[in-house]
A and B are shown apart, each in its own frame.
Chain A
Amino acid sequence: MSDALLQLRNAVIDGRVKELEALTSAALSAGLTPKEILDNGLVQGMQVVGSEFKEGKKFVPEVLFSARAMQVSLNILKPLLAQTGTKMVGKVVIGTVKGDLHDIGKNLVGMMMEGAGFEVVDLGRDVAPEKFVEVVRRENADILALSALLTTTMRAMDQTIKMLKEANVRDAVKVMVGGAPVTADFALKIGADSYGSTAADAAEIAKKLIHAS
């Protein structure tokens, strides 16, 4: 890995928000493409952050600073990616399920999806199943990503999937679920297509789902 990428990766891991602007410019000046910077610097940093959070080595504030750091760089890279005519890989509708007001994880996944080249339609939090169905249909989304933080609200995920089926749009969209209480086992039981255990994982899985379809 080039020195510039390593520095970017480490700055994201440490959440050194203020350094990201200069590091991103330096990486671009060194001739790295926006996509290289994203995939081999920022995303790799967030992968480490995600694993360390799962293992209890990092806590929410640290993860937030890392995300904020990545966002600084992403804001510089996004217009450049658009200029180079990089095509969006697909469209994701994302939201936190009904009754749940937590959005840190959902925002993080949204950002990683953007970083992976998806167009992201963010419906916010406390989103009713009907709303998800309506927007998935209207936007002709490739992926629906559902988030929940509480064991009391995660059941709204199966209600949403049920409603997608009733509206005959279930087969037109891949459904991903995630959030602290959600497990791969739960995802399987409710008939979701996939489960992401970290935000970086979610973006990788989304790419695979698109290619598989």
Chain B
Amino acid sequence: MQAEKPRAIIACRVLQSLIEPYLLQALTAATFMEYGLHRTPALMREALQERIDRIKQPSVIVLGYGLCGNGLVDLKAGIHTLVVPRAHDCITIFLGSHERYMEEFSSNPGTYYLTKGWLESGSHPLREYQDLVEKYDREAAEWVIDEQYRNYSRLVLVVPDTGELAVCRDQACKVAQFCAARWGFRYEERVGSDKFVKELVTSAPWLQESTHDFLVIPPGGEIKQEMFWHEQSREKGWEGTAR
């Protein structure tokens, strides 16, 4: 009887502009959490658990997050049903599917992704460099930024539609110029899709069980890392290799 339960969305602010157009249609209340929680997965888990537990009436809670460096691992559903995109991070959500993400990833593992949310929140090498120069001397700032980014070779701006491409391009190009000059990154753009987000808001809350794209965690359940692995990587032998 999930359809009768209230529905709520708790999502990262990077998805806000994508989620909002569908909220009215789905008549769902949404809470958007601050950017960058994934940098400290333990704190991300704490913050999300607190939000979930704050909802007192048994509900279907949609989490607008990926696995995000294990930030979701060990989250407890409690009295609620949790619905989660089966995505490693928000780039999968922006690109529209796990397969598209894996294609991008295997074609060039040394990719640093940019999104509108990341640009807005200043989570990119150029801003980090500017902050470091303010805090440390130039030599130290240059050393530490190089240590973090020298292994990447490509910067990819990911947007859900061409409209957002126009909005983000100027700022993305500034970051791209910095990265190209410093580490020789090439710059590319990918127009993904809002398919994942649309389903997350308009159909996933009514799912009865997990699918290829979404996890459904019933009341009393807990989110585990291996739930995010798709068939391709969930080869046989996994359960049986413990010594």
Q: Which of B39, B41, B147, B152 has the most CB of A within 10 A?
A: B147
| A contact residues around B237 at 8 Å (CB) | 158, 162
> Contacts A64-B147, A99-B109, A151-B88; is A191 near B69 (CB within 8 Å)?
no
Does A188 touch B at the CB level, under 8 Å?
A: yes
Query: How far is B109's CA from A102's CA once the two chains are assembled, in angstroms?
Result: 10
CB contacts (< 8 Å) of B42 on chain A: these are 54-56
- In the complex, whether B225 has a CB less than 8 A from a CB of chain A is yes
The reply to whether A126 and B69 contact each other, CB–CB distance below 8 Å, is no
Instruction: Give the dominant DSSP class at A's interface.
Output: loop
> Is B228 engaged at the interface, CB distance under 8 Å to the other chain?
yes
Closest chain A residue to B46 by CB distance? A56
8 A Cβ contacts from B100-156 to A? 102, 105-106, 109-110, 132, 136, 140, 143-144, 147-148, 151-152
Interface string of A154-172 (1 = CB under 8 A from B): 0100100110000000000
B41 surroundings in chain A (CB, below 8 A): 180
Given A150-B88, A152-B102, A158-B238, 17 new contacts (CB under 8 A): A56-B39, A56-B43, A61-B144, A68-B143, A99-B105, A99-B106, A99-B109, A100-B109, A104-B147, A152-B88, A152-B105, A155-B233, A161-B241, A180-B70, A188-B242, A189-B238, A189-B241
Top 10 nearest A-B pairs (CB, nearest first) are A56-B40, A101-B151, A191-B243, A191-B241, A61-B144, A155-B233, A56-B43, A101-B110, A151-B88, A99-B109
B: residues with CB less than 8 A from A are 39-43, 67, 69-70, 73, 88, 102, 105-106, 109-110, 132, 136, 140, 143-144, 147-148, 151-152, 225, 228-229, 233, 237-239, 241-243
- 20 residue pairs of the A-B complex, CB under 8 angstroms, read A60-B148, A68-B143, A100-B109, A103-B151, A104-B148, A125-B151, A151-B70, A151-B88, A152-B105, A155-B229, A155-B233, A158-B237, A158-B238, A161-B241, A180-B69, A181-B225, A183-B70, A186-B225, A189-B241, A190-B242
A residues touching B (Cβ–Cβ < 8 Å)? Answer: 17, 54-56, 59-61, 64-65, 68, 99-104, 125-126, 150-153, 155, 158, 161-162, 180-181, 183, 186, 188-191
